[in-house]
Amino acid sequence: MNRLFLVVAAALAAAVPGCARPGGDGAPDGQGRPHVVFIFKVLGIPYADSLKKGADRASRELGMRAELLGPATGNDIQGQINLIEDQIARKVDAIVVSPNDADSVRPALRRAEREGIAVYAWDADASEDARRFYVAGCDDVQIGVDIAERLARDLGGKGKVAIMTGGLTAKNLMLHVEGVRKGLKKYPGITVVEPLLANNDQKDQAIKGAISILQKHPDLAGFACVSSPGAPGVAEALIQTGKAGKVKVWGLSLPSEIREHVKNGVVSGAILWNPADLTFATAYLVKQDLEGQKPRDGQEIPGVGRIRVKGTQVLIPGVVITKDNIDRLDF
C-alpha cells in the first residue's frame, strides 16, 4: 500500500509543471500567464481608478494577469513596503511600483529581484538600482516648468503664487515642484509663497490647504498644483471663498476631475497623460521585457502612441487640457 502511494505521488509530481512562474501565487494560473502586480501610492482616488482601467485592459489583451494594489490612505510608506513583501511571498512574476518614498521601499524591491521577481517603476520612479526601467507620462521636471509657464502667462508675469503637491516624499512630485520653481524663476514679478502645500493625495486636504494659504495671503494670484487632487481641491476652495475666477489655477489633473471647473473658468487648465494608457503601456513593456525584449525609442504601443526612451526611463505621450479640448478627453 505504501509502495503504491509513493509510485502515484511520484507520477503526479512529474506531471505538475516545475517552479511557480509564470502565473504567480506559487503555481501557474492555468494558462501560463505572467502575474504582474502594480503597487500605487494610494487607492480610492480618481487617478488610481484610471490606473486600474489600464491594468484591466492589460489582463484582457496582453495574456497576463495584472493587478493594481495600494494603501488605503495617502503617503502610507509602510503600507507600500508591506504590499511589496506580500508580493514576494506570493511569488508573482513582476512588481511595478509608484513609490511614496523611493529610499524606503528600496530594500524590499532589491529583495524581490534577489528572489527572482522582476521589478519596475511607473508613475513615480524608484531608486535606479532597485528597478529595471521606469515608465512615466512626462519628464518629471519639465512638466513642472510647463505648468509654471502657462500659469505665468495667465498672470501676466506678476503676482503671488502658491505651489501644492501631494506627498512630500514622492520623488516624482518633488521633481514636479522643482520644475515649477525653476519655471517661475524666469519671472521676477512672481513671488512663490511658503510653505509648500501638501495634500497627501486627498482632495479634502487640498481644499483645507488652499483655504489656509488664501487666508494668509488674501492677495494670492495663482496656484500651481502638481498632484491630481490639487486642482479640483483648490477650485472648491476658491468657490467657497468667493475667489473663483480671480485666482488662476494650473496643475496636473484628470479631465474628469476638473471638467466643470475648466468650463466655468475656475481652473485655467492642466497637463497630464492618460493614467490608463500609462499602466497599459507599462504592462506591455514589462511583458516584453520578461520575454527578453527591451523598450525601444520610437516604439509604438497599441492605442497609446510612440514612446521615447532615455536610458532606463520611458516616456509616453501627454496632453495639455484646456477648455477647447476637455470635452473630447474621457479619462
- Helix/strand/coil (H, E, C) string of 233-272? HHHHHHHHCCCCCCCEEEECCCHHHHHHHHHCCCCCEEEE
Domain CATH number, residue 11: 3.40.50.2300
In a domain, 325, yes or no: no
Q: Is pLDDT above 70 for 70?
A: yes
Q: Is pLDDT above 70 for 15?
A: no
In a domain, 322, yes or no: no
Amino acid at 129: D
In a domain, 328, yes or no: no
Say whether both 172 and 281 belong to one domain. Answer: no
pLDDT value at residue 32? 79
Cβ(143)–Cβ(324) under 8 Å?
no
φ, ψ at 197 (rounded to 5°): -85, 140
Say whether both 41 and 64 belong to one domain. Answer: yes
Say whether both 116 and 9 belong to one domain. Answer: yes
Say whether both 153 and 30 belong to one domain. Answer: no
Say whether both 279 and 133 belong to one domain. Answer: yes
Mean per-residue pLDDT of the chain: 91
Say whether both 210 and 132 belong to one domain. Answer: no
> Structural domain of residue 6, as residue ranges?
2-137+275-316
In a domain, 201, yes or no: yes
Say whether both 266 and 284 belong to one domain. Answer: no
pLDDT value at residue 77? 97
In a domain, 190, yes or no: yes
Q: Is pLDDT above 70 for 137?
A: yes
Say whether both 194 and 176 belong to one domain. Answer: yes
The per-residue pLDDT for range 297-327, each reduced to its tens digit, is 999 999 999 999 999 999 999 999 999 999 9
Say whether both 265 and 239 belong to one domain. Answer: yes
Average pLDDT over residues 125-153: 97
The per-residue pLDDT for range 72-107, each reduced to its tens digit, is 998 899 999 999 999 999 999 999 999 999 999 999
Pick from 259, 271, 250, 239: nearest CA to 330? 259
Cβ(144)–Cβ(182) under 8 Å?
yes
In a domain, 330, yes or no: no
Q: Is pLDDT above 50 for 29?
A: no
When divided into structural domains, the chain yields a total of 2
